[in-house]
Structure 1
């Protein structure tokens, strides 16, 4: 590997597991282009908070022996051309325009330093993998698993916390089912009835703005011809399947929501396990969880929960969650050990933790039965499809 060819992997979303997902795809680019990876997460990342500190190395071991300061040299060339040795520490506020960020241009660049601050799913990079590369012929998830196992190593103090909790609460209670439940944002409403009208199959932006100006509880009045699917409504039926089929002894809950913990405590009693981390109410912002100077604690809690989930025997998660997908990449679960949930409506997928408005069902019981059978069949087909989800959050 050349000593003057680098890829600077900047933060993409400023949240921990989303940025790890971004890091993995950029590491694949580094291998494809024979570049030395350098990772830099700035102070304003959600789980950083320390001045002039690389947020990545607060939680994970360094990927290489280089830092951003080693590659900020006046004699170096940079791509995209908006960068130079003086601007590397800054963020490009126009990166969402994707100017100079075409995958082919990034991979073919001869600059000393390529800056990776735009997100690519591994599935978009697989066509550029050559036969001699270790991941050639792998599926998307196999590639993610390879990259994660090769590069991502948590700090020893975090590993000690993970192992301590595992020894105390999980080790002697197998089989254990891990369940990841994202908070419900009361202001997030997906109107699936008109998903294509505004050119976006996942999000009706006009409808979202309209709802946020009003009380979300009045949604039924605003959409008299629709019905609402309850957020996270599929979890408990899925949990019952695992409990009955595999004789689950304990359920390990991962969530950042106070209401979810209380709900699951009432339903599952002493069967429920969860770590003693800080959680917030469904309507609060994640940034309200702590003061900037103790953000590392929150990051540790997030990593601890994820790695503990990977030590369980089965996993139920959210298909639109980076945390859920990370838990799957830490180890090889096998096809029958995992369920990632989502709403499926008219062959389109929507996050399970949002209110989804669909067309009101017909009163004719025969028509309702046929439609439900079709929905179940489509859900079954979707679960057979393997590969990454570029819309996971």
Structure 2
């Protein structure tokens, strides 16, 4: 790669695995454009607990031999034009407007430094992959897996902590099922008819069949549900766990959750089968997204990484299709078919997070009711 052509990859969100997913898609852009990647998570990122420290390198090894200080030079040109050598450590408050940030521009720029601070889905990048790139012809999951194993390397102290826990609690326990259960979205209910929910960070999403669908398990809401009912968040997990326990004689369940209430529920139901790390979890009345405000924030990131990597080391996995952590587990190794699944609600070809309550619709005017009404109307004539 040319030594004066860089892609500076900045943080995108406040969720660790969302930011890693963003890094992976930007690394593909670096490969497609022949640029040297440099990852920098600045001080506004919740995972960075130290002033003037690269948050990414608190957890991972650098993706290249260059740092942000190598790309901040007065003689360099920058794109988008909001950037220069003096403000690279800052955030652009207008980045969500996506000005100067469409894929075509990013891939075709001639400036020395292109800054990647918005998220591009790999689905949108696939058409630009040429035959000479190793990712050519791969599915989205396969591309994420290829990029992850090529670029993402944990710090040695984190690896040692993960391996120590695995040897002590999971390695000799027979078949182990990892289960990732997100805290219920208690403040929000999804209306399956309108698809609306106010204030949630999750949104229903349409989807198309793909080669990656084998990982996903839907819980379909019938189109003509006979009565109004609330389907409770995370309820389908226990049925799926029972299937694995019965079929594979599961000995231990490694539970990954950000909710103390979920941990208590699972301990009560499964007893000594439950294994969990001692990471900090939210109480029922605590907002989960603020858990990253530890005094030492690096510990918060380590706990998330530790849970994720340990889940990938288990024999089986059940996760949440709307969770970046769950998706990370699925790309960390080549799971045998049926050994890993991601759960979601489905209604009218839209997916909803499994950790949200779903309001089903009372269909009073079903096709049968409409036919009966029309028949009675004709009889009165």
Shorter-chain TM-score range: 0.7 to 0.9
Q: For residues 33-48 of structure 1, what are the structure 2 equivalents within 5 Å?
A: 33-48=33-48
2:188–2:197 contact (8 Å) kept in structure 1: no
Q: Aligned residue for 2:208?
A: none
Distance in 1, matches of 2:203 and 2:353, equals: 12
Q: Aligned residue for 1:302?
A: 304
Q: Aligned residue for 1:321?
A: 323
Q: Aligned residue for 2:373?
A: none
Which of structures 1 and 2 has the bigger CA Rg? Answer: 2
Distance in 1, matches of 2:56 and 2:241, equals: 34
1:185 Cα deviation (Å)? 2.6
Q: Aligned residue for 1:76?
A: 76
Matched, 1:275 2:262: no
1:50–1:293 contact (8 Å) kept in structure 2: no
Unmatched 5+ stretches in structure 1: 204-224, 368-393
More helix by share: 1
Consecutive aligned runs of 4 or more in structure 1 exceeding 2 Å deviation: 195-198, 200-203, 285-293, 360-364
- Report the RMSD for the aligned CA atoms in angstroms: 2.2
Q: Aligned residue for 2:352?
A: 350
Instruction: Pick from 265, 268, 271 the counterpart of residue 267 of structure 2.
Output: 265
1:39 Cα deviation (Å)? 0.6
2:28–2:147 contact (8 Å) kept in structure 1: yes
Helix, strand or coil for the counterpart of 1:194?
A: coil
1:176–1:250 contact (8 Å) kept in structure 2: yes
Distance in 1, matches of 2:362 and 2:285, equals: 27
Q: Aligned pairs, how many?
A: 344
Q: Aligned residue for 1:189?
A: 189
Distance in 1, matches of 2:334 and 2:340, equals: 10
1:201–1:348 contact (8 Å) kept in structure 2: no
Q: Aligned residue for 2:232?
A: 230
Deviations 1:334-374, CA, capped at 9 Å, x for gaps:
2211110011112210001112212036799x99xxxxxxx
1:329 Cα deviation (Å)? 1.1
Helix, strand or coil for the counterpart of 1:359?
A: coil
Q: Aligned residue for 2:116?
A: 116
1:189 Cα deviation (Å)? 2.0
Helix, strand or coil for the counterpart of 2:19?
A: helix
2:294–2:300 contact (8 Å) kept in structure 1: no
Unmatched 5+ stretches in structure 2: 206-226, 370-381
**1:320 to 1:192, Cα distance in 2 relative to 1, 3 A:** same
1:89 Cα deviation (Å)? 1.2
Q: Aligned residue for 1:254?
A: 256
1:291 Cα deviation (Å)? 4.8
TM-score after normalising by structure 1: 0.84
**1:362 to 1:281, Cα distance in 2 relative to 1, 3 A:** farther
Q: Aligned residue for 1:86?
A: 86
Distance in 1, matches of 2:188 and 2:88, equals: 35
Q: For residues 1-393 of structure 1, what are the structure 2 equivalents within 5 Å?
A: 1-195=1-195, 202=204, 226-286=228-288, 288-289=290-291, 291-360=293-362
1:10–1:41 contact (8 Å) kept in structure 2: yes
Distance in 2, matches of 1:24 and 1:14, equals: 16
1:65 Cα deviation (Å)? 1.3
1:184–1:282 contact (8 Å) kept in structure 2: no
Distance in 1, matches of 2:203 and 2:42, equals: 33
